[in-house]
Amino acid sequence: MQKFLFLIIPFLILGCETNPPTQPISLKTGEVKLEITFSEDGNLNPERTVLLEDFANVSCTPCVISNKIIRSVLQNYGSNKIVSVKFPTNFPSPVDPFYLSAKTFCDFRMTYYNILFAPTLILDGTVRPTPTDSNSIKQALNTRLNSSSNFSIEITKTVINGGLLINANIKVKNKSALNLDELFLRCAIVESDIEFTQAPGSNGETKFYDVLRVLFPSNDGFPLSSLNSTNSYQFENTIDTVWNTNKLEAVVFIQNTATKEIQQTGSSF
C-alpha cells in the first residue's frame, strides 16, 4: 500500500482590519483553505451537534462491529445531530496506512485522550460509550444532544480549481460569560468514503468512512480569544495528491482545553 505523504503549511492572518471578504477567494490546485468569521448573537438558541471520535485500526477485529454500528447511528440521526471523525491507531497493526498518513495528528489525539484500546469511541471529548454496544452509544448520544451549547457553527465548502474552500461561520450567544482562553477551535479534514479492492488490514474491511486526513491549523488548535467580530481569519494546508478532493469534508469543533469537553461541532456533510 502506498504511503500518503503531506506537508502542513499553516498561515495565520491576524492583522486584517476589514470585514470578511465579499469576493470569492482564489485557490490553487491542491490547496485547502479555511476561512473563519466570528460574531455574537444574544438571541442564539442553537441545537447541539455531537462529535464522535472513533479510534480504530484496519487490523482490529472488534472494529468491524463498531464501524457498522457507527454507520447505522450516523444514518439514523443525520449529520445535523452527529458527525464522526475516524482517528486511525497504530495498534494492533503499526502499519495501518491511514495511521501512517496522519501519524502526527493521530498520535496527538491518542495522547490527548490516553487511548489504549481499539476501538475506542469518545463523544464530545468526555463520554466513552461501549463501542460494540449500540444501546450504549445511543444513550450517550441522546444525553449529549439534550445538553445546551453557547455556539452555532455553520460550515460550507466549495471545490474550486482542484482546491477546497471551507467557510466557518461561528456565532456565540454571550461571549462575556465564557472563558475564551480555554476554548480552542480545530478543523478536521476527513475523506468521507475510501474503498480498497483488497483489505489493507487483517480484519477484512475494504470500505472506510470519515477518515482523518489532516487536523489544522495545528494539533493545539486556535484560541477563540484571538477571534473578534471585525476580522476574518484564514488558514491554509495542502491536499495530498492521493486524496479525493470531491470526497473531502470539514469538521470544525470547539473544545475546552481544561475539561476536554467539546462545546459545539459543525460540518460540511
Q: How much is the pLDDT for 186?
A: 97
Q: If DSSP codes are grouped into helix, strand and coil, which group holds residue 178?
A: coil
Scan for cell 447511528, then name that residue.
73
Question: 207: buried, middle or exposed (CB in 10 Å: 19+, 13-18, 0-12)?
Answer: exposed
Q: If DSSP codes are grouped into helix, strand and coil, which group holds residue 63?
A: helix
Q: Residue 46 and residue 44: Cα distance in Å, rounded?
A: 6
Q: What grid cell was written down for 23?
A: 469576493
φ/ψ bin of 5: left (φ > 0), alpha (ψ from -120 to 50), beta (otherwise): beta
Lowest mean pLDDT among 6-15, 93-102, 181-190: 6-15
Mean pLDDT of 233-247: 91
**Are the CB atoms for 200 and 101 separated by under 8 Å?**
no
pLDDT one-digit tens code per residue, 58-79: 999 999 999 999 999 999 999 9
pTM for the structure as a whole: 0.89
Mean pLDDT of 146-174: 94
More confident residue, 263 or 12: 263
The yes-or-no verdict on residue 1 having pLDDT over 50 is no
Domain boundaries, the chain: 31-267
Q: How much is the pLDDT for 23?
A: 46
User: 31-267 in CATH: which number?
Assistant: 3.40.30.10
**Are the CB atoms for 104 and 66 separated by under 8 Å?**
no
Q: How much is the pLDDT for 161?
A: 86
